[in-house]
Amino acid sequence: MSIGLITILLFGGLLTLLLLGIPVTFSLGSITVVLTYLVEGPDSLYTVATTTYQQITSPTLMTIPLFLIMGNFLVKSGISELMYNGLSYWLSGLRGGLAIVSIGVCVSLAMCGGFGPGILTMGLVAVPAMLKHGYSKNIALGSVMAGGVLGEIIPPAIIMIIFAFIARISIGKLFFGGFIPGLLLACLYIIFIVITGIINPLALPKTTVDVSWSMRFRVLKEITLPALLVLLVLGSIFKGIATPTEAAAVGALGSIIICAIYGKLSKEVIKESCLETLKITGMALWILIPATLLGVFYVSVGAQDMIMELIDSLSVNRYVILFCMQIILLIFGMFMDDYAVVTICAPIMLPIATLLGFDPIWFSILFILNMQMAYMTPPFGWALIMMKAVAPPDVTTRDIWKSIPPFVLIQFFVLLLVMIFPALATWLPNRMF
């Protein structure tokens, strides 16, 4: 069977199954196993079994539940809410301070491996507080959603771990690559909030609560330990003291200790944190296994040679191909979960980008930045759906959709910046490795 026919059967069959509503995991797994059997014979099923076992026992995957445990304990125990209250004291009286605090807490949760927790927690805590103080819905909702999706690009993002595993690139390099674009996004969000407050003071009124300096210093204890934990985990990775897996283990243990110190380590917190971790880890593994099988099969039948010949035959500029891939990713991301997009597109697009001469870490960061933007893009942006689930009853879907354009434009601007200046994504990894 020719590689061309295999490609048509593989992706045509996958698209058909997805359109029929079959979950990505079962669509990928079934079409890959069937084609493996038809092309390589019955003996190939042994390879399927051994490959599956090797993948699910990979030490790299241990980082997923460990980072999730770290973030979930801080969220389920209510420590993230204490962080929000503590930071809001320090920015009390500053126009737009509550929105800036929301971004700051979301960055902290992102550094604990969380994407959903940022939106869900701040949606329950920060959005009602901002609306109560007279903030415009656009800023209150948009700042929380934009801050929440920073968990897609700021390390140690779970999607980065999954991408690195599927694409077979260094997790450490990918973490370093996302650090500068992630912080740049956070800074631009804050700058936008400050400028909005200057141009339209009614949209961002100053908080009227009188907070003394003694109160500010008193709440430092609610911020200090989680901040130290984040510095310990990321610092140990950045300094090369620990591998991502080892740092994740330290972070998981550290978050449990912090919960105990704050008196928040109840049976309910342990139960909810572990269940949430199991759910997300299980989902990730269910997607990773068939994705790996697809990659192994497609490479074994000569996919890379076909891709190289196809690229050699094209006469268009390589940046045109790069732009087309970004458009495809954005469209996919608007209708599919980011794990599914990574599973389907990363094994195909990264080899193409590499053959075109693009830096794999740079392209990977562009890929993930695109996924982050898709998370805030209608009609099925997951950030919008999560916000609707936790927002106050008077917040409509229209309100949520209206709040996103300026923040999506900032994300698009950063995507273009990283595309034009690759050093934003490659300088730190190259310096550290």
The answer, yes or no, to whether residue 293 has pLDDT greater than 90, is: no
Q: How confident is the model at residue 208 (pLDDT cuts 50, 70, 90)?
A: low
The answer, yes or no, to whether residue 99 has pLDDT greater than 70, is: yes
pLDDT of residue 168: 83
Hey, what are 34's tokens? 């069937």
The count of C-alpha atoms lying within 13 angstroms of the C-alpha of 417, restricted to the half-sphere facing its C-beta, is 15
pLDDT of residue 407: 94
The count of C-alpha atoms lying within 13 angstroms of the C-alpha of 299, restricted to the half-sphere facing its C-beta, is 12
pLDDT of residue 209: 62
Q: What mean pLDDT comes out for the span 184-189?
A: 95
Q: What mean pLDDT comes out for the span 125-151?
A: 88
Hey, what are 294's tokens? 């697809």
**CA angle, residues 292, 425, 341, in degrees to nearest 5:** 30
Task: Tell me the C-alpha distance between 140 and 102, whole Å.
Answer: 9
Q: How confident is the model over 187-205, as pLDDT tens digits? A: 999 999 999 988 988 888 8
pLDDT of residue 114: 62
Query: Which residue in 320, 314, 334, 430 sits closest to 382, CA to CA?
Result: 334
Q: What mean pLDDT comes out for the span 321-330?
A: 89
Q: How confident is the model at residue 117 (pLDDT cuts 50, 70, 90)?
A: low
Residues near 134 by Cβ (< 8 Å), separated by ≥ 6? 202, 205
**CB-based contact 18:332 (threshold 8 Å):** no
Task: Tell me the C-alpha distance between 395 and 251, whole Å.
Answer: 36
Hey, what are 135's tokens? 């903030």
**CB-based contact 98:207 (threshold 8 Å):** yes
Q: How confident is the model at residue 115 (pLDDT cuts 50, 70, 90)?
A: low
C-alpha 304: how far from its chain's center? 28
The answer, yes or no, to whether residue 58 has pLDDT greater than 80, is: no
Answer yes or no: pTM beyond 0.85. Answer: no
pLDDT of residue 300: 77
| Residues of the chain above pLDDT 90, percent | 21
The answer, yes or no, to whether residue 212 has pLDDT greater than 70, is: no
The answer, yes or no, to whether residue 86 has pLDDT greater than 80, is: no
Q: How confident is the model over 357-371, as pLDDT tens digits? A: 899 999 999 999 998
Hey, what are 98's tokens? 């509550």
The domains of the chain are located at 1-57+283-301, 58-265+302-432
pLDDT of residue 182: 93
C-alpha 306: how far from its chain's center? 31
Among 129-138, 198-207, 270-279, 291-300, which is the least confidently predicted range? 291-300
- Return the HEC string of 188-247: HHHHHHHHHHHHCHHHCCCCCCCCCHHHHHHCHHHHHHHHHHHHHHHHHHHCCCCCHHHH
**CB-based contact 185:83 (threshold 8 Å):** no
Task: Tell me the C-alpha distance between 428 and 260, whole Å.
Answer: 35
Residue 356 CB neighbour total at 10 angstroms: 16
Q: How confident is the model at residue 410 (pLDDT cuts 50, 70, 90)?
A: very high
Q: Match 């510095």 to its residue by tokens.
A: 231
pLDDT of residue 186: 94
Amino acid present at 149: V
| Residues of the chain above pLDDT 70, percent | 97
Q: What mean pLDDT comes out for the span 157-174?
A: 86
Phi, psi of 178 (to 5 degrees): -85, -10
